[in-house]
Structure formats: C-alpha cells, structure tokens
Structure 1
Amino acid sequence: MINQRRSRTLTAACVFAATAALAVSGCSKSETTDSAGGDSGQGAQAAKTPEATSGSGCSLQTYGAPKLDLKDAVVGFSQSEKEANPFRIAETQSIKDEAAKVGVKKLLTTNAQSQLSKQISDIQDMLSQGAQFLIVAPLNSDGLEPALKAAAAKKVPVLTIDRKVNSTACKDYVAFLGSDFVEQGKRAADAMIKTTGGSGKVAILLGASGNNVTTDRTKGFVDQLKAKAPGLEIVAQQTGEFARDKGQQVMEQLIQSKPDITAVYAENDEMGLGAVTALKAAGKKPGKDVKIVSVDGTRNAVQALVDGEYNAVIESNPRFGPLAFATAQKFYAGEEIPENVIIADRAYDESNAKESLGGAF
C-alpha cells in the first residue's frame, strides 16, 4: 500500500510538471517534460534528477477545502523580499503572467519587504479581502504560523513556493513547490571541483539565516566537497544575507583576513556579484585569481560568465507560475498533490553561457 501511494504521488508530480513544462524529481522519461532545452534555457545543462518527491498526497477532501473554479476565484500571492532581486522580479512576474493566462478572476499581490511581521499581516489582509487560494513565498521557514492558521480557519488552501515552512503538509499548507536545495549545493560543489581542479581554499558566502535554502545549499556543498575533494579546504563561512552589498562587504573583509582564498561559493548570484566587485577593487581577477560559483541563474551572473569573471552558475528556477496554477487546478479537480514538487534547474558554465544568456532571468 505504501509503495502504491508513493507511486501515485510521483506520477501526480510528473503530470504537474508536464502540464507546466517543468521537470519534477522522480519522473520517468515517459512522464517528464524537461524545459532545459526550451526557449528559456537554450544550451544550458539540464538538472540532475534528485531522488523522488516525498510525502503522501493531499487532496481537496483531505484538506477540507471547498471546491473552486479559479476563473471565479480571488487568488492571493505573498512575496517575501524586495523586488530589487532579479529572482523575486522573475518569480512575481511569472505568477502574474500565469494568473492572467489561466483567467483568474482577481489576483491580489503583496510584498513583505523582507519583514516577517509584514508578511503575516499581508496574508491576513488578503484573507480579509476575500482571497480563496493563496500562493506564498515564505520569508523564513519559521514564523508564519499565525498567517497559516488564519488561512486554515477560513479553509483557504496555501501553496508554498521556493522556501519550505516548518509546518504540517495537508494541514497547514497543501504542498511545497521548489528546488532541491541540497542538490543545488552538490552541483555547485561539482562545478567548483571542476573549475579548481579539486584543490584550493574556499570561502562560502552564506544566505540569510532562518530558512531551509541556506541550510540545504550549505549542506549539499560541504558534504560533496568532503566526499569528492578533500583538497578543497573551506576556510571561511559568513552570511551575506542574499544581498549584493552585503556580499561585497563580506568579501572585502575576507580579502583582508583570508588573503589566500582561491575560490568563493556564493549561495546566490547577488552575493557572488558583490564578491566580483570587491575582488576587482582589490586588484584581483575574479574568475581567474579567485574562482566563483553561485546559485540562481540571473542574467547578470551568466553575463559575468561570458565575460570570464565567473566560473559556474547553478540555476534556481523562479518561474513558478505555470507549476503553481497547474498544481492548483489538479488540486481542485480532486487529484492528490505530493507534499514536495521539485522544479527543474539548469546549470551554466563557460561552455554554454553565451548561447544561454537569453534564457537567464
């Protein structure tokens, strides 16, 4: 029975992926549509398929929500961070574009400006405005409980995207849609090993604390280096809070305190680009004197690859609109939703950066 349930869960995930033209982990070739070769990622390397999605399925009946036609619905989207970050710009636009394509009656959008208290009040305000379905990009993995409880009290389903919440699936939220962040860290480590030859001194620019993205990207990277490249020594780990200016400040400090650093792993592109600025100001050649690998897939980072100032970028796909609304439609059609639905991520290096630049966000 457990194996049958797991099989159904994976098949459901794969159907969502095909509907949204995005690959989901655990799918067979016959079940998966991989966007890596499509218009948005020409020439970029496809993601390595992670292990299967986890968790039993969640249906409309088990969640206890009323049936809904999205064309007659008010849908709310809660963005977590300032849209100065290209990832957030692309993510929000993807939700807006797909809502229009699906024909959603009304889309409410808010931005928490990186404040947890504001995200809670934003979600509560959308509920008071009649939101019947919510898509939430959580600021942190913890702390949204008051907002989730408010949604549950009104029987409003919640999909979380790009960051997990430490709550109970199919009770506090329907499902998590996002990347396999541990796998991203592993792929970044593999890229670092390739570009450095497996030896050197590495600094890690950590993301913001308090969310699973930072924890998982760090774990994947560190564990992979330990297993595959003991000659790459991690000599510093310091948070740059996913911000370019903070990444630059941290890199400036590290240049002084750890002048023998030969490589940088930045847990998002913005921090990596900040490191580029700091290295150039110090008279060093980023991409040559100091190798740089980061995660996101922004156009600016891929351009830095083209310019020889970067060495590799692992994409974290922000285009959640098609997958989110396809998942919502399946949910309201009575189908089971997997607890974790994994979106496909591409990879960029010097071999494909130029031809793939147009597909970066």
Structure 2
Amino acid sequence: MKRSMKALVAGTTAVATLALAGGAWAEQMKIGITQNNVGVDSYQTTYEKAFKEAAAANPDVDAVVLDAGGDVARQIAQIQDLVQQKVQAIIVWPTNGKAVVPAVKKAHDAGIPVIITNSNIAEQGMPFIAAFSGPNNIEQGKEAADMMCTGLNGKGDIVQISGKPGYTTAIERQKGFEDELAKACPDVKIMDTQPGDWNREKSQRVMEDFLVKYPKIDGVYAADDNMGVGALNAAKAAGRAKDIKFVGATNFAVGYEAMKKGEYYGSVYQSPIDDAKNALQTAIDVIQGKDVPKMNYFKTPQITQENMDQFKKPAF
C-alpha cells in the first residue's frame, strides 16, 4: 500500500510539473471541434471517426466533437458554446470561411487558440488563428490542372464542376486549377463552370446539362472525386464517357475504382485520416506551446492510372 501511495504521489507530482512546464495545459487538455457537415460525404464521415479514435487513444485529451451540419449559424453558436466551456483549443472546419471570422475572433479574444482544419478561413480571419492544418488546396488545383494538360496533350475544351460556393476549399481549388491551366496549357479552354456542392447527384445533373449544351467536351475537372464520379455517370449514360478525360481531387474510393477501370484519368490523393490526426496533433502542439507552422500542410500527391498501384484504395 505504501509503495502504491508513493507511486501515486510521484505520478501526481510529475503531472503537476508537466502542467507548470507547459504553461497552458493541465493533466487533460479539453479540445473542442466543430465540423462542417459530417453527413455530406464519406470523407467527412471518415475524418470524424479518425478524429474520435485519435482523441480516445490519447489519455491527455478530452475531446468535445460537434458538427454544424452545413449550417453557418449553427457553427457560430457551437464556437460560442466552446468558448463558454473554456476549452483549451478550438478546431474549426469552416462551413463558410468568411462568415465564421467574427466568432473565431471572439475565441481568440477570449485567449483560446483556434486551429482551422481542412478548409481555410478567409484572409481577414488569419490574424485570429493559431494555425491552419490541412491540404494546400491551391496546390491541389494546380496538380489537377497539370494532369488535365497531360491527359489532353495540351489542347481541348473542358467544363468545370466546382465545390460549394463561398467554401474556401472550393474557391482555392478553382483558383489553383484555373491559374495553372492558363499558364501550363493555354490551348485548353474552360467553356463553363457550375457548382456541384460536393454532391454526386447534383454533379450528375450539372453534367447532364453540360452534355446537352456542349456537343464536344474533351475534359471535366471536378473539385472532388465524389462530384467527378457523378459527372462520369452522366457521361456514361449519354454514351460519351470514352471521349472525355475526367480529373478530380481528394481521391475517393469511387474515384479510385473508376480509375482502375480506365474510366477516370486522375486525381489528388488526400487522406481524411491524416487530415484528422494532423488537426488534433496541431491543437495539442499549440496548447503545449510548441513551435507550429502557421500553415501546417500535409502531402497530397497526384494519383493517376499509371501510378495508382503505389497507393492504397481510400477508406472513404
């Protein structure tokens, strides 16, 4: 019994020492996260599962996991609630990069560090965040443009299916794609751009309209594979898929499978598991006072029919 009591005292002393050394964290770190819209696609569902598992595996973390359901007002209320709970860090996957800025500022003013995950906050919100954790979406757009240039041998007419309007990831991927396309292969022309809202069914309807409007389409760029496969399905139904190069981003399992069949040209490999783990670790590092890059990106390489055997099939 005496030995157990000594161990307990020693352990308590060690925790207290750690708390003092860290300066900002105690025995357990309370970290809140408000996500964009878990039910909208399998990427976000997989991200949430991975985040919960990573948090549960760390005895020093007490996670409060929330989902805004795509509702900006709900997310703002969730951020405010986490401030009231006095969590030690807040992770935000913005429903709208501009609309959440005032709420993020309030958290910052309350002394709570904010980590933005996956999709960045608008430029005016950057002074109020501790770090961004996620993919470089401008670079992903550029990678997709380079694949499109290669697939079309530098010439052709294409259409673009963008993400949800106002969503930073959608804005950045479109910008990266358009800027790089104009620079790398100016003879590839974008005839039309319409939003698919990250939804496969809506993207299929958008592509159906494109197919009616344009008798010749050489390529389709979709801001994620979920939308890209929706476009592919429309083209297959119309008997025109073989004449079109499909390029996406965020390689979903359905995109991987279509690539394996030779129906889908290329995408950008992005893991929601890495995304979630990176966000949680960034929050922990910030709380512990470690030196964290403001833009804490993880790698997202190109994946095509030629190199896909180097990558595992996505789990989402």
Query: Normalising by structure 2, what TM-score?
Result: 0.86
Letter in 2 for 1:163: S
* 1:193-227 deviation digits (Å, cap 9, x = unpaired): 11121221110101111133222212221222222
Partner residue, 2:14: none
| Residues 1:198 and 2:154 aligned together | yes
List per-residue Cα deviations over 1:34-70 (Å, max 9, x = no partner). xxxxxxxxxxxxxxxxxxxxxxxxxxxxxxx96014x
Greater shift, 224-233 or 288-297, is seen at 224-233
Aligned to 1:280: 236
Which one-letter code corresponds to 2:115 in the other structure?
L
Q: Is structure 2 residue 67 aligned with structure 1 residue 111?
A: yes
1:128 to 73, 84, 94: 84
CA offsets, 1:258-299, max 9 Å, x none?
A: 1211110001111101101111111222xx311100001111
Query: Relative contact order: is structure 1 or structure 2 higher (C-alpha 8 Å, sep ≥ 6)?
Result: 1
Matched, 1:347 2:302: yes
8 Å CA contact 1:303–1:357 kept in 2: the answer is no
Q: Is the 8 A contact 2:162 2:170 kept in 1?
A: yes
Corresponding position of 1:314: 268
Kept in 2, the 8 Å contact 1:80–1:112? The answer is yes
Q: 1:190 to 1:87 in 2, by over 3 A?
A: same
Match of 2:196 among 240, 246, 249: 240
The residue aligned with 1:323 is 278
- Asked if 1:302 is matched to 2:302, the reply is no
Say whether the 8 Å CA contact 2:105–2:125 is kept in structure 1: no
Q: Indicate the residue corresponding to 1:76 in structure 2.
A: 32
How do 1:243-258 and structure 2 match up within 5 A?
A: 243-258=199-214
Please list, as runs of the form range in 1=range in 2, the aligned pairs for 1:134-149 lying within 5 A after superposition. Answer: 134-149=90-105
Following the alignment from structure 1 to structure 2, what is the Cα–Cα distance between the partners of residues 68 and 340? Answer: 23
Which AA in structure 1 matches 2:208? E
Change (3 A) 1:88 1:113: same
Shift of 1:360: 5.0
**Structure 1 residues 149 and 228, CA gap change in structure 2 (3 angstroms):** closer
Where 1:275 maps in the other structure, the secondary structure is helix
- 1:155-170, aligned counterparts within 5 Å? 155-166=111-122, 167-169=124-126
CA distance in 1, matches of 2:225, 2:214: 21
Asked whether the 8 Å contact 1:136–1:160 carries over to 2, the reply is yes
Aligned letter for 2:88? Q
Corresponding residue for residue 5 of structure 1: none
Q: Is the CA contact 1:66–1:155 (under 8 Å) kept in the aligned structure 2?
A: no
Separation in 2, partners of 1:114, 1:123: 14
Change (3 A) 1:329 1:249: same
> Quick check: 1:154 aligned with 2:110?
yes
Distance 1:97 1:307, change over 3 A: same
The match for 2:217 is 261
Say if 2:117 and 2:134, in contact at 8 Å, map to a contact too. Answer: yes
- Structure number having the greater helix percentage: 2
Distance 1:188 1:74 in 2: 38
Return the offset for 1:330: 2.8
Uncovered stretches (5+) of structure 2, i.e. residues with no partner: 1-21
Is the alpha carbon distance of 1:328 and 1:295 closer, same or farther for their aligned partners in structure 2, counting shifts above 3 Å? same
CA distance in 2, matches of 1:163, 1:276: 25
Structure 1: how far apart are the matches of 2:102 and 2:152? 46
Instruction: Report matched runs for 1:189-228 at 5 Å.
Output: 189-228=145-184
Q: Distance in 1 between matches of 2:314 and 2:208?
A: 31
Is residue 245 of structure 2 the alignment partner of residue 291 of structure 1? Answer: yes
Q: Give the 3 Å change call, closer, same or farther, for CA 357–325 of structure 1 in structure 2.
A: closer
- Please say which structure displays the higher CA radius of gyration: 2
Aligned pair count reads 293
After TM superposition, the score normalised by the length of structure 1 is 0.75
1:120 Cα deviation after fit: 0.9
Give every structure 1 segment of 4 or more consecutive aligned residues whose post-TM-superposition deviation is greater than 6 Å.
Answer: none
Once the two structures are superposed, residues 298-357 of structure 1 have per-residue CA deviations (whole angstroms, 9 ceiling, x without a partner) of 111111100112000112342223322332333233333322111111221112335524
CA RMSD after TM alignment: 2.1
Report the secondary structure of 2:70's partner residue: coil
Instruction: Decide whether aligned partners of structure 1 residues 101 and 199 sit closer, same or farther in structure 2, where only a CA change above 3 A counts.
Output: same
3-state SS of 1:78 partner: strand
* Corresponding residue of 1:184: 140
Contact 2:145–2:180 (CA<8 Å) still a contact in 1? yes
